[in-house]
Structure 1
């Protein structure tokens, strides 16, 4: 799994804001990846708990102990599916950051940075504002009109 292009803003701080700026197609892709992860993780947990419960209940019934063994095997398969789904979900979130991070700035009417170092500096300022709920020492330059929004102007 790769990291987003600009790591200065922690994803857990930026994601709720970026989520609001994502186009519907990207939201669907991220939601689908998250649903696959949730389904596989729940299946793994359910099979694991069921295997444990059935092992306790079937302890004295000989061949019936194959049932929890099969459940453990299925739980292991579901675990591998959950790990794979987590990779897909992580990639979808990283791609959303990489592709749409500037759209968030445009929708907030913040002047776009000219290069990556300016973007990192701006992200550090925004992180200070968002994460710590304090006024950052650096200035945030806002666009004056809606026409400054550029490509994403609606």
Structure 2
């Protein structure tokens, strides 16, 4: 496996989809839930220190993992944990057709959790309104009524 990635990226408001050839990764963790589907050969990954090989891998938010080997194209879903419950997400995607359009349609129809913090909701609304150009961190902090120093 090469360290280079190639493919198509599709971004939604609280998810991202990638269809392509993933590269090998070093161990890492990220905030998004990650679901990987490989219709060709299986995916081999280290999940929290344990090597797993499967055609479908579900990686919960913040779980340490590394991609070790794939064969051919892989379809990846990155989902916002604040919006989607992992069990509901897994169940909905388990029955979905494995294409970018089908997964995007499934994700759009899934119910979302309500945000607990109105400040975050205001920042996200400000972000959506500014997407036609560059997005200023200062403007987002101002919309959320927090200082840049308070941002995580």
Task: Tell me the TM-score normalized by structure 1.
Answer: 0.30
- Which structure ranks higher in relative contact order (CA pairs < 8 Å, sequence separation ≥ 6)? 1
Larger Rg: 1
In terms of fraction of residues, the more strand-rich structure is 2
In terms of fraction of residues, the more helix-rich structure is 1
